């Protein structure tokens, strides 16, 4: 019996792949929406390619996927689901959920033993809660070319103990973004020197960051009648502010000479959240508020993206999005920005000696912050199809195109992505911009003093209490020390409730990543 759906899908796929040359099939998304402007990408041969996936027949089977709301990660999921349907004959049901509800929508079916979803897209920091429910990535998929090219940081993010249980589809980190047109402007440099006695340079410490941000805050930099501000930061309590706080404190509290834990002392499981390093980081965060733009004290991630990306501020730091927004074709600051590692600190708290260690070169540990990841449910009866979908989702052609569509939220995570030529040729970035971007991102893979998220059971409880304490200090309701003492007390209660050994066992995985070096 002829399978007409499969036949039609194959014809469709052939049409897609034979659109350019007979030998190097090129892929585009034009058929699926307003994507023609992003051009084409070569279908790299291999198990995940369009050609290989087209040979699979999943007719009569249904793949259930839960993912984020459109567009960030939700839009590429929907797009690749449609393509997967066309290629394999499978039916793919995609459920898009806002971030605030995603965790519980994943967790409740897991806890109640339902196989509600085969494939999950979620924040990688939940691995401590979810790993028991996830199917390890089979060896065959670890051998595909795309997976082999994933950089070590993002392999680490996907790994729980000895096993890879998350399928890398994105790479995230926090880094500094700045207005290069200010730092390259001779007049502004001369004025800064005259006014402050210092050279205007990209800040290498958070003290410099705050000082430079304050100097340029609420000023008309270029005499065009537009006022600009110092720093756009994610400061809204329940809108990912906890990650901004970790970025700021890492420099003061992640001492390269002290192994065995950043958030906790792994031996005693005593919270370190209120040690002088964390307190100093919070004080610097509080002090920076005077350089925020109007409303900046309640900026969520979206506000931060459009504030820096729209040219309102001199600095920003967080995920890639603000930089990508700044580099969009219609951006007023396109090719006027630069990327650099997060600022550091010359004095770093040593929790073992209870003293501040001094560093000539600022200590600037990269924060390999959580980002989007994917996984296959252990309870799924469609694991073969589910892994094929993720393999297809992240094949070279799709990733090449997805990286160019800023709103998709797919950011560099493979060695191939760290080539300045890619960003120059595909997106028209200036060479200098592309180089600062690529060098900053790839440089994090070389660090042996990294900070990862607190990937332990109950991570949301820990991060929620921390964000609340930080927010109380930022709003002036408590001092930095009072606020973090309160957080430490709550963390101890959470640890006792979950079980010290259970949290320690999970945290040991995080410490192993942080301490293993390169």
Partner 1 sequence: MDQTGTRFYKLSFLLPGFLVLLAIILFPLLFTIRVSLSGWDAITPGLGWIGIKNYLKVFGDTRFWESMWRLGGMAIGSVIIQYVLGFALALLVWREIKFKRFFRVLFLIPMMTTPVIMTVIWRTILHESLGPANDLLGVIGLGPYPWLTSPGWSVAAIMMVEVWQWTPFMFLLLLAGLISLPREPFLAAAIDGAGPIRTFFNVTFPLLAPVSIGAVIIRLIEASKLIETVYVLTSGGPGTATETAGYYVYIKGLRDFEIGYAAALSITYLVIMMVLLTLIAKFLVKFMLGEKPQ
Contact footprint for partner 1 (CB under 8 A): 100-101, 103-104, 107, 111-112, 129, 236-239, 293-298, 300, 303, 306-307, 312, 457-458, 460-461, 464, 468, 471-477, 498-499, 502
Q: Closer to partner 1 by CB, 295 or 428: give it.
A: 295
SS3 169: coil
Q: What counts of helices (H) and strands (E) characterise the chain?
A: 22, 18
- Beta-carbon neighbour count of residue 199 at 10 Å? 8
Q: Strand 119-123 vs strand 372-376: parallel, antiparallel, or unpaired?
A: antiparallel
Q: Closer to partner 1 by CB, 143 or 238: give it.
A: 238
**In angstroms, rounded to a whole number, what is the distance separating the alpha carbons of residues 63 and 91?**
6
Beta bridge partners of 265: 270
Minimum distance, C-beta of residue 24 to partner 1, in the bound complex (Å): 46
Q: Render the burial of 299-310: b for 16+ CB within 10 Å, e for the rest.
A: bebebbbbbbbe
Q: Closer to partner 1 by CB, 21 or 112: give it.
A: 112
Q: Closer to partner 1 by CB, 98 or 138: give it.
A: 98
Minimum distance, C-beta of residue 368 to partner 1, in the bound complex (Å): 23
Minimum distance, C-beta of residue 298 to partner 1, in the bound complex (Å): 5
**H or E segment to which residue 336 belongs:** none
What is the chain's length?
518
Minimum distance, C-beta of residue 130 to partner 1, in the bound complex (Å): 9
**In angstroms, rounded to a whole number, what is the distance separating the alpha carbons of residues 473 and 482?**
8
Nearest in space to 175 (alpha carbons), one of 438, 394, 502, 355 = 438
**In angstroms, rounded to a whole number, what is the distance separating the alpha carbons of residues 412 and 426?**
14
Q: Closer to partner 1 by CB, 288 or 473: give it.
A: 473
Q: Closer to partner 1 by CB, 172 or 304: give it.
A: 304
Q: Closer to partner 1 by CB, 138 or 295: give it.
A: 295
Alpha-carbon torsion 266, 268, 271, 274, what sign?
A: negative
DSSP 261: -
Minimum distance, C-beta of residue 439 to partner 1, in the bound complex (Å): 31
Q: What angle do CA 90, 93, 97 make, to 5 degrees?
A: 155
Q: Closer to partner 1 by CB, 250 or 471: give it.
A: 471
Minimum distance, C-beta of residue 305 to partner 1, in the bound complex (Å): 13
**H or E segment to which residue 331 belongs:** none
Minimum distance, C-beta of residue 23 to partner 1, in the bound complex (Å): 51
Q: How far is CA 408 from CA 70, 264, 400, in A?
A: 8, 35, 12
Q: Closer to partner 1 by CB, 382 or 468: give it.
A: 468
Minimum distance, C-beta of residue 269 to partner 1, in the bound complex (Å): 15
Q: Residue 314 in contact with residue 212, Cβ under 8 Å?
A: yes
Minimum distance, C-beta of residue 426 to partner 1, in the bound complex (Å): 31
Per residue, the 3-state secondary structure of 39-52, as one string, reads CCEECCCCCCCHHH
**H or E segment to which residue 478 belongs:** none
Minimum distance, C-beta of residue 44 to partner 1, in the bound complex (Å): 39
Q: How far is CA 325 from CA 43, 171, 192, 301, in A?
A: 27, 17, 28, 12
**DSSP per position, 98-156:** -HHHHHHHHHHHHHTT----SEEEEEGGGHHHHGGGBPPPPHHHHTSHHHHTB-HHHHH
Minimum distance, C-beta of residue 209 to partner 1, in the bound complex (Å): 20
The alpha helices in 203-349, defined as continuous H runs, are 206-216, 241-253, 276-288, 301-309, 321-326
**In angstroms, rounded to a whole number, what is the distance separating the alpha carbons of residues 18 and 75?**
25
Minimum distance, C-beta of residue 151 to partner 1, in the bound complex (Å): 30
**H or E segment to which residue 9 belongs:** helix 4-17
Q: Closer to partner 1 by CB, 71 or 300: give it.
A: 300
Q: Closer to partner 1 by CB, 256 or 300: give it.
A: 300
Phi and psi at residue 50, to the nearest 5°: -60, -40
Q: Closer to partner 1 by CB, 165 or 200: give it.
A: 165
Minimum distance, C-beta of residue 101 to partner 1, in the bound complex (Å): 7
Q: Closer to partner 1 by CB, 73 or 456: give it.
A: 456
């Amino acid at each position: 019996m002829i399978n007409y759906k499969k036949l039609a899908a194959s014809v469709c796929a052939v049409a897609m792949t034979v659109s350019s040359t007979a030998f190097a099939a090129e892929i585009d998304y034009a058929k699926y929406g307003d994507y023609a402007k992003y051009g084409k990408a070569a279908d790299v041969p291999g198990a995940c390619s369009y050609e290989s996936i087209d040979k699979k027949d999943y007719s009569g089977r249904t793949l259930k996927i839960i993912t984020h709301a459109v567009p960030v990660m939700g839009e590429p999921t929907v797009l690749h689901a449609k393509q997967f349907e066309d290629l394999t004959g499978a039916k793919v049901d995609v459920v898009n959920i806002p971030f605030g509800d995603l965790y519980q929508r994943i967790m409740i079916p897991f806890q109640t033993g339902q196989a509600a979803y085969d494939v999950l897209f979620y924040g990688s920091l939940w691995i401590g809660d979810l790993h028991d429910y996830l199917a390890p990535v089979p060896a065959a998929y670890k051998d595909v070319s795309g997976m082999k090219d994933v950089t070590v940081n993002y392999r680490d993010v996907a790994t729980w103990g000895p096993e890879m249980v998350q399928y890398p589809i994105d790479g995230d980190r926090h880094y500094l973004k700045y207005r290069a047109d200010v730092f390259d402007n001779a007049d502004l440099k001369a004025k800064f020197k005259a006014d402050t006695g210092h050279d205007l340079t990209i800040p290498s410490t958070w003290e410099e960051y705050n000082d430079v941000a304050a100097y340029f805050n609420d000023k008309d930099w270029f005499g065009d009648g537009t006022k600009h501000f110092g720093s756009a930061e994610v400061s809204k309590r329940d809108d990912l502010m906890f990650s901004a706080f970790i970025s700021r404190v890492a420099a003061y509290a992640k001492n390269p000479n002290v192994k065995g834990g950043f958030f906790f002392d792994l031996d005693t499981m005593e919270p370190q959240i209120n040690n002088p390093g964390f307190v100093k980081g919070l004080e610097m965060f509080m002090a920076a508020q005077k350089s925020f733009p109007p409303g900046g004290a309640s900026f969520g991630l979206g506000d931060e993206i459009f504030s820096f990306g729209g040219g309102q501020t001199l600095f920003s730091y967080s995920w890639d999005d603000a930089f990508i927004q700044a580099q969009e074709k219609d951006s007023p600051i396109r090719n006027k920005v630069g990327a650099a590692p997060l600022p550091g600190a010359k004095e770093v708290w040593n929790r073992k000696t209870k003293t501040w260690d001094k560093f000539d070169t600022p200590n600037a540990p990269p924060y390999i912050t959580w980002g989007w990841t994917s996984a296959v449910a252990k309870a799924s009866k469609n694991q073969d199809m589910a892994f094929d979908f993720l393999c297809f989702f992240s094949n070279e052609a799709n990733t090449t195109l997805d990286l160019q569509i800023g709103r998709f939220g797919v950011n560099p995570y493979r060695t191939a992505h760290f080539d300045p030529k890619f960003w120059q040729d595909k997106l028209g970035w200036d060479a200098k911009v592309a180089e600062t971007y690529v060098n900053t991102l790839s440089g994090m893979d070389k660090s042996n003093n990294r900070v990862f998220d607190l990937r332990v059971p109950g991570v949301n409880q820990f991060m929620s209490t921390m964000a609340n304490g930080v927010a109380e200090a930022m709003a002036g309701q408590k001092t930095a020390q009072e606020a973090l003492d309160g957080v430490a007390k709550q963390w101890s209660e959470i640890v006792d409730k979950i079980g010290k050994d259970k949290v320690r066992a999970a945290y040991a995985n995080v410490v192993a990543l942080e301490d293993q070096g390169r």
